[in-house]
Amino acid sequence: MEFVSRLINASRRNRSLLCVGLDPDPSKLPVKDIFEFNKAIIDATADLVCCYKPNLAFYEALGIRGLQALKKTVNYIPRDIPVIGDAKRGDIGNTAAAYAKALFGYYKFDAVTVNPYMGYDSVKPFLDYRDKGIFVVCRTSNSSASDFQDLVDNFGMKFYQTVALRAGDWNKGGNVGLVVGATCPEELKEIRKLCPGMPLLIPGIGAQGGDLELSVRYGVDAAKEMAIIVAARQVLYASKGPDYAQAARKAAGELRDAINRYRGM
Amino acid sequence: MEFVSRLINASRRNRSLLCVGLDPDPSKLPVKDIFEFNKAIIDATADLVCCYKPNLAFYEALGIRGLQALKKTVNYIPRDIPVIGDAKRGDIGNTAAAYAKALFGYYKFDAVTVNPYMGYDSVKPFLDYRDKGIFVVCRTSNSSASDFQDLVDNFGMKFYQTVALRAGDWNKGGNVGLVVGATCPEELKEIRKLCPGMPLLIPGIGAQGGDLELSVRYGVDAAKEMAIIVAARQVLYASKGPDYAQAARKAAGELRDAINRYRGM
C-alpha cells in the first residue's frame, strides 16, 4: 500500500496527527540501551501516533552500535504505523540512488526527508520508489532558515515558495510531502495554500518554541488531516526517572488531544 | 594541525591536486570485500593524491557492514593524507551537532561536505571544529543544479553566488571551502573570484563529463593550489580485472600529471 494511504489509516485509527521523533540523546536517557529506550517509548505511544520519525543523526553519532539500534527500532515498530527516516539527504543521481537504497532497502523506512538544494535529479531516485513517501525540506524551523530560504527571486517569489511549487510538480506519483517548521506559522499557512493536498511534516513545537495551535490550524488540509506534528524531546524526556515511559505516554496523549481540539475533532 | 595546512602539505609532497573518491559500487567491484578493494586502491595511489574522499552513500547502501568497511578505510589511510567525508549533511543545530560528532568524532574525517539550505546555524556546529575542514555545497555538477542554485534574487545575485559569499563570511576560522562541479566552468571561475583564498572541492570530471583543463585553470588560487580535483569511477574501475590496482595507479598518475600540466607545474 502506498505511503499516504498508510499514513491516513494510522492517523484515523489512532485519531492522531502526532508523530513521535525517536531521537535518543545518551546524555538525557534514563536507560543505557538505546533500543530498550525506543522500545519502551514505542510500546507506550503506539496507539497515540500517526507515525514515528527517527532522525539518523542521533544514531550515526553513536557509530555502528547506534545504527544497529536504529535498524532494530524500525523493525520493532508495528507494521501499521509508518516510519519516516529523517535523513535530509541530497546528492547527484547515482549517489542519491545509493542513499535511497540505504534508507528504503536496508533500513526499510516508509518515507524519508530529502534536501532540495541540488534540484530534481537529486530527488528523482527517491521518487522512483512509488510506494514510499518523500518529504522535501522546504521552510525549516531554525532561526537561520531565513538566510537562504527567504531570498526573493526576480519574480517576487521566496526561495522556499519556489521549492514548494517545484515539489508539487514532482508529485506526479502522489508520494511527495514537505517539511515546514512550526516556528514559522505564516509560511506554513502559505505553503498549505500552494500545496493544498500534500502531507506536511511539521517539526519545531516544544523545545524549539513553535506554536502548536497555529501549526495545526494552518497545517491541516481541507479534511483536517495530512499535517504531521512532530514532538521529540517533550515526549522522550518527559521524565528522566524510571517512569519515563508512562510520562512519555502522558505527554503524547496530551499533545494528541490538544491537536485534536485545535482541528475540531 | 589545521585542515588547510594538512591539505597543502600533502598536495606539495605528492605534487598533486588529485583527490580519489572512494565510492565502492558492489556491481562494479573486481573483489568482494570493500575494505580490501579500498586498501588496494589506497596502496596504489597514496603517493599520487592530495586527499581521499569517501562518499557515505555508497557505504550506507550496504548497511552496517558497509559502515564497518568505511571506518576501517578511514583508519587505514596514512595520517599525512587528509580524508574528506562526503556526506552533505544539513539539519538544525542540535541535530547538526550530532552529525558533526558522527563524522569528526566517530569516523575521524579531517573534513566534510555540508548542505547550506538551512543557513548558518545548521553549519555552525561543524565550523566549531576549528581544525577540521568544512566544504559548503555551492554549485553542483548535476544537470538539475540550475533548478534552484541559479535562481536570481532581487539584487541580481544567483543563489549559488549568495551561498559562496555567505560561506566566505563563515570562514572566520579559515576552515571553510566550497564544492563546485567541474561541469560548470564559468560558475567555477566566478566562484574562485568571489572566494580567492578558499579551497574548492571539484567533482564531476570523467563519468559526469566535466572539463579537466578548465576545472584546473579556473579552480586554482593565485599560487596554483587549493583546487581539489575529484576522480572516482575513472580511477576505481580503470580495470575490472585482477590488475585493477595497477590500472587505478596508472589512471591516477595520468590525471595528476595532466592536472599539473594544466596548472603549469
Query: Which residues on chain B are in Cβ contact (under 8 Å) with A153?
Result: 151-154
Contacts of A64 in chain B (CB under 8 A): 64, 67-68, 71
Cα A171 from chain centroid? 18
The C-alpha cell that represents B61 in the structure block: 547502501
Going by pLDDT thresholds of 50, 70 and 90, the confidence category of residue B208 is confident
> Residue B80 — pLDDT band, cuts 50, 70, 90?
very high
Average pLDDT for A146-171? 95
pLDDT digits (tens, 9 = 90+) for A189-246: 999 999 999 999 999 998 788 999 999 999 999 999 999 999 999 999 999 999 999 9
Which residues of chain A does B142 touch, with a Cβ-Cβ cutoff of 8 Å?
92-93, 118-119, 121-122
Is it the case that residue B245 has pLDDT exceeding 80?
yes
Q: How many CB pairs under 8 A join A and B?
A: 179
Residue A137 has pLDDT above 80, yes or no: yes
C-beta atoms of A116 and B121 within 8 A: no
Give the tens place of pLDDT for each residue, B20-45. 999 999 999 989 999 999 999 999 99
With 0-12 / 13-18 / 19 or more C-beta atoms within 10 angstroms meaning exposed / middle / buried, residue A42 is buried
Q: What percent of chain B has pLDDT over 90?
A: 95
Q: Which tens digits make up the pLDDT trace of B117-171?
A: 999 999 999 999 999 999 999 999 999 999 999 999 888 999 999 999 999 999 9
Distance from the A43 Cα atom to the nearest Cα atom in chain B, whole angstroms: 25
Amino acid B197: pLDDT: 95
Predicted local distance difference test score (pLDDT) of residue A114: 98
pLDDT of the residue at A105:
98
| Sheet strands (E) in chain A | 18-22, 51-54, 84-89, 111-114, 133-139, 176-180, 200-202, 227-231
pLDDT of residue B154: 84
CA angle A34, A65, B35 (to 5 degrees): 165
Rounded-to-integer distance, Cα A18 and Cα A202, Å: 10
Closest partner residue to B147 (CB to CB) among A23, A145, A166 is A166
Is the pLDDT at B174 greater than 90, yes or no? yes
Q: What is the pLDDT of residue A207?
A: 79
User: What's the mean pLDDT when you consider all of chain B?
Assistant: 97
Which residues lie across from B21 on neighbouring strands?
A: B53
Task: State residue B210 phi and psi, 5-degree precision.
Answer: -70, 155
Q: Which helix (H) or strand (E) holds A236?
A: helix A233-236
Spans of all domains in chain B: 3-262
How much is the average pLDDT of A167-172?
97
What is the DSSP-derived secondary structure letter of residue B137?
E
Please report, as a single letter, which amino acid is at residue B175: N
Mind listing the pLDDT tens digit for each residue in B86-111?
999 999 999 999 999 999 999 999 99
pLDDT above 70 coverage of chain B, percent: 100
Contact list in B for residue A146 (CB cut-off 8 A) is 119
User: Nearest CA to CA, how far is B81 from chain A (Å)?
Assistant: 23
DSSP assignment string, B50-93: SEEE-BHHHHHTTTHHHHHHHHHHHHHS-TTS-BEEEEEE---H
Cβ pair A152:B156 closer than 8 A: no
> At residue B158, what are phi and psi to the nearest 5 degrees?
-75, 150
Residue indicated by cell numbers 565550523: B127
Contact A114, A100 (CB under 8 A): no
To the nearest whole Å, the CA of A138 is away from the closest chain B CA by 9
pLDDT at B48: 98
ipTM score above 0.90? yes
CA nearest A109: which of A81, A137, A69?
A81
Residue A1 pLDDT greater than 80, yes or no: no
Taking the C-alpha atoms of residue B23 and residue B206, their distance in angstroms, rounded to an integer, is: 14
The mean per-residue pLDDT over the stretch A162-176 comes to 97
Superfamily of domain A3-262: Aldolase class I (3.20.20.70)
Check whether B1 has a pLDDT greater than 90: no
Mean pLDDT value across chain A: 97
Does residue A160 have a pLDDT over 90? yes
The C-alpha atoms of residue B108 and residue A246 are separated, in whole angstroms, by 38
